[in-house]
Amino acid sequence: MKNKMRWTLKPKPDPEKVKQLATDIQVDTLIASLLVQRGICSYEQAKMFFRPELSQLHDPFLMKDMDKAVSRIQRAIASNENILVYGDYDVDGTTAVALMSSYLKSKYPNVATYIPDRYSEGYGISYTGIDYADDNGISLIIALDCGIKALDKIAYASKKNIDFIICDHHRPGEQLPLAQAVLDPKREDCSYPYDELCGCGVGFKLIQGLSLVNEEDPEEILPYLDLVATAIAADIVPLTGENRVLCAQGLRMINSNPRPGIKAILNSAKKNGKINVTDLVFVIAPRINAAGRMKHGLYAVNLLLENDFTKAEALATEINSFNEERKGLDKKTTEEVLQYIVDEGEEDRKTTVAFNESWHKGILGIVASRVMETYYRPTLIFTRSGDKLAASARSVKGFDVYNALSQCSAHIEQFGGHKYAAGLTMLPEEFEGFKAKFEEVVSAQIDPQLLIPEIPVDTQMTMDMISPRFYRIIKQFQPFGPGNSAPCFMVSDLYDTGYARGVGEDNKHLKMTVYQPGSNAINAIGFNLGRKIELVKHNSPFSAVFSVEENEWNGRVDLQLKVKDIRADN
């Protein structure tokens, strides 16, 4: 178990650039310094950063195979073919299916949707799905958020005269599938300027391409951005470049005119007020995900496609109950995995690889993330799935678990994913060999520093720099997420006013009011820092790392510090 944190102060940006930007856009040097750290060094770049507009999006036809994808869909519509929109069962896949199918249906009736069953079919394109298409006279499948490695399945489909268009964002293998078009900005031969799109983002580029060719008003595709923003937040892709524009515009859509399904989710979660990325991640995404985890991903697609608010409310209530069931299950399973680690005497390994055939396949990824909060190391949680074992992998910042898994491929039947998250299947007899090999690979390659959670700190500051104007500008750095985190500051020589206390269940959070000598006091909350209360008592000076946020209480809005960690000054 680890409570230690590593504070990493980012390098100071070039003082000349900071000074110039501060002058150009009329801000103080602290704000200018935060912008230069994010690669924003000119008036023009700052304008694009603070005002993310659709005009900043790249031409979709810069993506390899976009012309082929668009013309194949046009041909399907012209010759009255049946089209199947196929996507994975997670948030990225279900939002992408809702986006693509609703756009196509607004032009053309012969469009069906398909989400594979997590338990009987597993991840990605399945033979069952292709057979379903064949049985229903479907000759074109548009696959979203999956398919880049489905070589055999796409070959199987082509024998049945079914064409595929793939919209994926996962890393391709050495060979690409023989589809009509493969849209994936991570293709080696694709020179698209931004390669961090999520699956729903690639789907959006395809409807943008179709919209351009159809000479539609660009405003027509705006209503789909609520889905793209939700997928971007849930899939934890960087909130930079094109993703930042898509997410900012999508949040604008959710806050001004949400689709009935999203409005119903927010109602069922009793979520009011302005929605931000945190709400997408912790309120909307878990409920969409719960459908595929506990029941079937089509529940989520149907909710997102529903235009009648009363029906959407009924679906959202059902999905909310799936989410409640999921929460209970993931808490229980996390406790069981933590106990497994102790029982097996594996606290001091460099990896966690745990298996129990009764664990629910739908929550493996969540449990892997939860276990990583306790033992900060690459983590795989396995369960039985039919006659095989299935697992979800999660990794610590800075370590590529996908690459590590590829070095264990002799034990794995199938795997796919990203640097920090992957899924795999294997035969049961390979488990022990895999577990030993994975520990060996990670132990040999991981920098021990990466096994201590890191808090990247933008800059040191003093408390008198925090003002309403300062916060108003920081707020405009949103949407926050990977690659554009909420600015994190470090302050030393802090004191508590004497009222620090533990709050929440088991006093696990720390509430205090802090000041530096000569500065005004400000409220602060440290989640999961209740155990550190002794550091701030007895009038002892301490250092803290924190972000600044607004706190609303009884109709009054004040600034407060969201403290990530504290240390005694000595």
DSSP string across 113-181: EE---TTTT-SS--HHHHHHHHHTTEEEEEEES--TT-HHHHHHHHHTT-EEEEE--SPP-SS----SE
* CA–CA gap between residue 142 and residue 70 (Å, rounded): 11
Q: Look at residue 449 and tell me whether its pLDDT is greater than 80.
A: yes
Same domain, 383 and 514: no
CATH of the domain at 109: 3.90.1640.30
pLDDT in tens, 321-341: 999 999 999 999 999 999 999
Percent of the chain with pLDDT over 70: 99
Give the residue from 363, 288, 316 showing the smallest Cα distance to 89.
288
Same domain, 447 and 458: no
Query: In this structure, is residue 389 part of a structural domain?
Result: yes
Same domain, 202 and 139: yes
Same domain, 479 and 364: no
Q: Which residues contact 527 (CB under 8 A, 6 or more apart)?
A: 509, 562
Same domain, 103 and 231: yes
Q: Which of residues 429, 451, 473 is at a domain's end?
A: 451
C-alpha pair distances (Å), 256 with each of 242, 248, 250, 300, 516 = 21, 12, 10, 22, 41
* SS3 call for 413: coil
Predicted TM-score of the model (pTM): 0.89
CATH of the domain at 418: 3.10.310.30
Same domain, 381 and 425: yes
Q: Which of residues 389, 419, 451 is at a domain's end?
A: 451
β-strand 509-515 against 489-496: which pairing, if any?
antiparallel
Same domain, 378 and 460: no
pLDDT in tens, 475-486: 999 999 989 999
Q: Which residues contact 501 (CB under 8 A, 6 or more apart)?
A: 507, 510, 511, 512, 533
pLDDT in tens, 122-177: 889 999 999 999 999 999 999 999 999 999 999 999 999 999 999 999 989 899 99
Query: In this structure, is residue 250 part of a structural domain?
Result: no
What's the half-sphere exposure (Cβ side, CA atoms, 13 Å) at 178? 9
> Domain of 205?
60-237
Q: Look at residue 442 and tell me whether its pLDDT is greater than 50.
A: yes
Q: Which of residues 451, 472, 491 is at a domain's end?
A: 451
CATH of the domain at 42: 2.40.50.460
Q: Look at residue 293 and tell me whether its pLDDT is greater than 90.
A: no
For residue 15, say if its preceding peptide bond is cis, omega within 30 degrees of 0. no
Average pLDDT over the chain reads 94
Q: Which residues of 437-465 are buried (b: 16+ CB within 10 A; e: fewer)?
A: bbbebbeeebeeebbebeeebbbebebee
pLDDT in tens, 512-545: 999 999 999 999 999 999 999 999 988 899 999 9
Token pair 């029941």 is at which residue?
295
Q: For residue 1, what pLDDT is reported?
A: 46
For residues 450 and 509, is the Cβ–Cβ distance under 8 A? no
Q: Look at residue 227 and tell me whether its pLDDT is greater than 90.
A: yes
Mean predicted confidence (pLDDT) in 301-309: 96
90: its two tokens: 């997670």
Same domain, 149 and 220: yes
Query: In this structure, is residue 174 part of a structural domain?
Result: yes
CA dihedral 381, 382, 385, 390 (to 10 degrees): 80
